[in-house]
Amino acid sequence: MSALEPQELSRPVRVNEVGKGGLEFTVEADEAERAAIAGRLGVERVGALTAQVTVKRWRQTGARLTAHVNGTMTRRCVVSLDEFEAPIDEQFEARYADPDDEIAMAAPEEELVLDPESEEPPEILEGGAFDAGEAIVQHLVLGLDPYPRKPGVEFEEVRESPGKISPFAVLSGLKKGASPPEDKG
């Protein structure tokens, strides 16, 4: 899927329209966009979603996007299966480069070393533009807790009673030719 095809939250930005002072705007997802984003994220609902976005020129033909995303979403607790409201508060930065910018797109000649603190390589501009809305949704996906817990809910480990015999102990005994032990639980 092209980055400029309509997405759940599409806000295309043409780099040649970004002036020397940059471009600032607010992205606020409407009800239909929030429902589509909830489906993509696999959450119950996205109640609100607003992003303060700044785009500045980067290198001669590229752009640097900075965004602060706020809102709420309804998640399902992995322990209790109850729904709960989870806040959205994400900040991120992304760079976009023209595919003809050899310096920005240069691949390292040495062995690639992954450093979680280093900058991400730039995304490639398509037709001189990028989709700020798609960048927002992609960073929401990255920020999701894969095991959400409702505040105050703790996982309680189930312990076997001391008189109960493990099924593995029974199988082990049968393998050795002994008769199965009596269950005292």
For residue 71, how many other CB atoms are within 10 A of its CB?
20
Instruction: Flag whether 5 is in a domain.
Output: no
- Read off the tokens for 162: 């001391």
Q: Which domain holds residue 173?
A: 161-185
The pTM of this model reads: 0.75
Q: What is the pLDDT of residue 66?
A: 97
Q: What is the pLDDT of residue 25?
A: 97
**Band of the pLDDT at 4, cuts 50, 70, 90?**
very low
Question: For residue range 135-175, what is the model confidence (pLDDT) as tens digits?
Answer: 999 999 999 999 999 999 888 777 666 667 777 777 776 77
Q: What is the pLDDT of residue 22?
A: 95
- Quote the mean pLDDT of the chain: 85
Q: What is the pLDDT of residue 53?
A: 98
pLDDT at 107 over 60: no
- Tell me the CB-side half-sphere exposure of residue 182, using CA atoms within 13 A: 1
Q: What is the pLDDT of residue 144?
A: 93
DSSP string, 142-175: HH--SS---TT---------TTSPPHHHHHHHHH
Is residue 113 located within the same domain as residue 179? Answer: no
Q: Which residues pair with 55 in a beta bridge?
A: 23, 65
Instruction: Report the distance separating Cα 151 and Cα 146, nearest Å.
Output: 15
Is residue 178 located within the same domain as residue 146? Answer: no
Do the strands 45-58 and 62-76 form a parallel or antiparallel pair, or are they unpaired? antiparallel
Is residue 24 located within the same domain as residue 103? Answer: yes
Is residue 140 located within the same domain as residue 182? Answer: no
Is residue 143 located within the same domain as residue 176? Answer: no
Sheet containing 62-76, strands listed edge to edge, beginning at the edge strand earlier in sequence: 23-28, 45-58, 62-76, 83-97, 123-124
pLDDT at 104 over 60: no
61 phi/psi in degrees, rounded to 5 = -120, 5
Is residue 106 located within the same domain as residue 77? Answer: yes
Is residue 170 located within the same domain as residue 83? Answer: no
The percent of residues above 70 in pLDDT, for the chain, comes to 79
Q: Which residues pair with 9 in a beta bridge?
A: none
Q: What is the pLDDT of residue 1?
A: 46
Question: For residue range 47-93, what is the model confidence (pLDDT) as tens digits?
Answer: 999 999 999 999 888 999 999 999 999 999 999 999 999 999 999 99
Is residue 82 located within the same domain as residue 28? Answer: yes
Is residue 65 located within the same domain as residue 150? Answer: yes
Is residue 84 located within the same domain as residue 124? Answer: yes
Q: Left, alpha or beta for 128 (phi > 0: left; psi -120 to 50: alpha)?
A: left
